[in-house]
Structure 1
Amino acid sequence: MTKAERTREFIIAQSAPLFNTKGIAGTSMSDILEVTNLAKGSLYVHFENKEDLSHAVVDYHLAKLGEAVSTEMNKEATAKGKLFAYIDTLADTLNPPLEGGCPMLNFGMEADDTDEVIRKKLNDAIERAQQDLAGIIRKGIAAGEFQGDWDAKEFATKMFALVEGGIMMSRIAGNNKAMKVIARSLKKEIEENET
């Protein structure tokens, strides 16, 4: 990695928590300069503008979130264990895997009407997450772990939506009550579809 590439990565990593906590509109260039301790000119050598940086930050956050969830899911040998790990990794909304909470939720609500590039990145990530969850269920069906008539795609969509909705409800309430109900309900449905 060249010095320029290292500097670019440093800027993204240092400013990412700001964007995820304060939002894209709420993060100023002066905030970014403060956390990176760089001169304004140095910042603009690596990023054309704040929008350019925000696109790189969204990619960074989506990769980090994917790594955090995959790491926990990969510790499990069974399809049920992997689905439970997905839920558990995201269930403690007051101590999320990434500072500021779920970037899909945070950036999605802000960018859905304002930034087509970010909206597309998030939509692609959401579709991948649902495909991955459905794939786990299909493997569980093929292994005889789950009932053969379980609609993997439908449950993956429901699971993703409920987890994201639970994150929103719990973070707004300042407690995990809603997420605990959702996690319990999802786990019960998973267990009801075991063979």
Structure 2
Amino acid sequence: MTKGEETKQFIIEKAAPIFNTKGIAATSMSDIMEATKLSKGSMYVHFENKDVLACAAVDHNMKILSTKLQAQLSQGKSAKEQLLAYIDFFSNPLNPPVSGGCPLLNFGTEADDTNPIVKEKVNTAIKRGQQLLSAIIEKGIADGEFSPKWNGSEFATVLFAMLEGGHLMSRMSGNNDNMKTIEETLKKIISENSI
């Protein structure tokens, strides 16, 4: 990696949690300059404007989330263990795996009407998440772990939506009570569809 590439990556790594916590609109280049201790000129050498940097920060936050999630899922030896690991991964929104909270929820909420590029990035990540869950369930059906009548695609949508909704509720209330209820409900559905 060249010195310029290292600096660019350094800026992204410092900017990513700020954008995820404050949002794209509320984050200023001054915030990023303060975090990086770099001048405005240095910032603009690597990023033509804040929107370009924000997109790189969104990608970085999504990559962190994906990498940590994959590490957790890889510990599951069966499809059921992987589904439970997925739920456990998102079960504590007050101590989220990515600094500032869930980037899908944070950036998706902000970008839905304001930033079509970020909106598409989040939408793509949501689809990938649902496809991952559906594939885990389909593998579990093929391996005889789950009922062949279980619709993996539908449950993937339900699981994803419930966890994201629970994340929002927990962050707003300041406690994980609602998430615990959601977690128990999802685990019950998995158990009911296990053979």
TM-score tier (shorter):
over 0.9
Residue type matched to 1:132 in 2?
L
Distance of 2:22 and 2:67 partners within structure 1: 23
Question: Any idea what the Cα deviations from partners look like across 1:74-107, whole Å, max 9, x if unmatched?
Answer: 0110111101111111111111001110000000
SS in structure 2 opposite 1:69?
helix
> In structure 2, what is the equivalent of residue 6 of structure 1?
6
Written as runs of structure 1 = structure 2, the 5 A alignment for 1:48-67 is 48-67=48-67
Percent identity for Structure 1 against Structure 2: 55
> In structure 2, what is the equivalent of residue 89 of structure 1?
89
**Ranges of 4+ aligned residues in structure 1 off by more than 6 Å:** none
> 1:144 Cα deviation (Å)?
0.3
Question: Any idea what the Cα deviations from partners look like across 1:123-147, whole Å, max 9, x if unmatched?
Answer: 0000000000000000000000000
SS in structure 2 opposite 1:91?
coil
Question: Any idea what the Cα deviations from partners look like across 1:24-61, whole Å, max 9, x if unmatched?
Answer: 11111100000000011000000010000000001001
Is 1:144–2:144 an aligned residue pair? yes
> In structure 1, what is the equivalent of residue 79 of structure 2?
79
Distance of 1:48 and 1:133 partners within structure 2: 37
What TM-score, normalized to structure 1?
Answer: 0.99
Structure 2 unpaired stretches of 5+: none
Root mean square deviation, CA, Å? 0.5
Written as runs of structure 1 = structure 2, the 5 A alignment for 1:167-186 is 167-186=167-186
Distance of 1:40 and 1:100 partners within structure 2: 24
What TM-score, normalized to structure 2?
Answer: 0.99
Count of residues in Structure 1 that have an aligned counterpart in Structure 2:
195
> 1:23 Cα deviation (Å)?
0.6
Structure 1 unpaired stretches of 5+: none
Written as runs of structure 1 = structure 2, the 5 A alignment for 1:158-173 is 158-173=158-173
> 1:71 Cα deviation (Å)?
0.6
> 1:178 Cα deviation (Å)?
0.6
